[in-house]
Amino acid sequence: MLLLDAGFSLRELDKRAERVGLHLSGLVGVALTHEHGDHATGAVRLAARHGVPVLSSTGTWSALGAGDTITFLEVVPGVRRDLGPFAVTGCPIPHDAAEPLALAVTARDGTSVGLAYDLGRPTTAVRYLLRNLTAVILEANHDEVLLRTSDYPVSVQERIAGSAGHLSNRTAAELLAEVHHRGLGAVMLAHLSRRCNTEVAARATVESALRAVGFTGDVLVARQDEPTGPVTLAHATGSQFSLTL
């Protein structure tokens, strides 16, 4: 098992894993997109408890300030990093963090999942990383109208909508339609704003764009207050890959 981001306390991580039937004793590592608390709070303690490494960019690792308490494995953009049965690759994303990454993980049988959130815009590198995957977890942070009519100060609205902020439902839908291919089996929308989005709006916007390009898989929405999954992804070889958020 490889955990992608750990934005909860150790106690909450344990609770959520138990609720969906995951056994963290099988953990081989924790891969991080960036150091912000909602993505990395429990990472160091979890890795230390299980004696597994943290995978991230050097900038993220430095910002964590973990020192030599646990093993660090650097994820260099465009370079494959193998860990147990998984191969991890990453690419830079535009966000106001030390050295944030989008990540893609491939199992030995070729089943793969990409993870991209906290990015202000879909770059060429992100488009390349998310191509030809079995599943994609993508930020659909806000509805543009709800953001502009929210009670956020204008400066905060501009940050969220800016190039180093977060993807809107519309931009997420356009990106997913662009990277769609016949082997894409599932899309999970994540990082929805409580103030500026709804599950209905995010799903409707993305699903409409995906169905228009022939997507026949599942569109799922991750909720902040409860774990989602596990979602089983079938590969052409007949093997299966389980995804939980």
213 and 144 fall within a common domain: yes
70 and 157 fall within a common domain: no
176 and 119 fall within a common domain: yes
- Token pair 């609720």: residue: 19
| pLDDT, position 109 | 87
115 and 203 fall within a common domain: yes
Does residue 82 lie in a domain region? yes
| pLDDT, position 242 | 52
Q: What is the CA radius of gyration of the chain?
A: 17
Q: Do the bridges between strand 101-107 and strand 112-116 make them parallel or antiparallel, or are there none, so unpaired?
A: antiparallel
Say how far apart CA 21 and CA 110 lie, in whole Å: 24
Position 234 confidence tier, pLDDT thresholds 50, 70, 90: low
Q: Residue 87 corresponds to which amino acid?
A: A
Is the Cα dihedral 197, 95, 129, 224 positive or negative? negative
129 and 208 fall within a common domain: yes
87 in Cβ contact with 106 (< 8 Å): yes
Does residue 33 lie in a domain region? yes
| pLDDT, position 223 | 86
Give the mean pLDDT of 172-197: 95
221 and 131 fall within a common domain: yes
Say how far apart CA 116 and CA 192 lie, in whole Å: 13
- For the chain, helix, strand, coil in percent to 5 are 30, 25, 45
165 and 208 fall within a common domain: yes
Residues of the chain with pLDDT > 90, as a percent, come to 75
Angle CA 227–205–99, to nearest 5: 60
Does residue 93 lie in a domain region? no
DSSP-H helix ranges across the chain: 10-19, 37-40, 43-50, 58-64, 124-129, 144-148, 154-161, 169-179, 199-212
Give the mean pLDDT of 30-56: 94
Does residue 230 lie in a domain region? no
Per-residue burial over 41-50, b = 16 or more CB atoms within 10 Å of its CB, e = otherwise: bbbbbbbeeb
| pLDDT, position 70 | 93
Q: Which of 41-55, 134-148, 176-190, 215-229 has the lowest mean pLDDT?
A: 215-229
Token readout for 199 is 């599950």
Instruction: Give me the domain span that covers residue 73.
Output: 1-86
Does residue 215 lie in a domain region? yes
175 and 221 fall within a common domain: yes
Indicate whether 225 pLDDT > 90: no
Does residue 123 lie in a domain region? yes
Does residue 54 lie in a domain region? yes
| pLDDT, position 97 | 86
Does residue 157 lie in a domain region? yes
Query: Comparing 55 with 16, which gets the higher pLDDT?
Result: 55
Q: Give the total number of structural domains in the chain.
A: 2
Give the mean pLDDT of 64-93: 93
143 and 193 fall within a common domain: yes
165 in Cβ contact with 142 (< 8 Å): no
202 and 139 fall within a common domain: yes
Per the prediction, the chain carries an average pLDDT of 90
| pLDDT, position 236 | 45
CATH number at residue 8: 3.60.15.10
Indicate whether 241 pLDDT > 70: no
| pLDDT, position 239 | 43
Position 150 confidence tier, pLDDT thresholds 50, 70, 90: very high
58 and 125 fall within a common domain: no
115 and 220 fall within a common domain: yes
| pLDDT, position 32 | 96
Give the mean pLDDT of 166-184: 96
| pLDDT, position 46 | 94
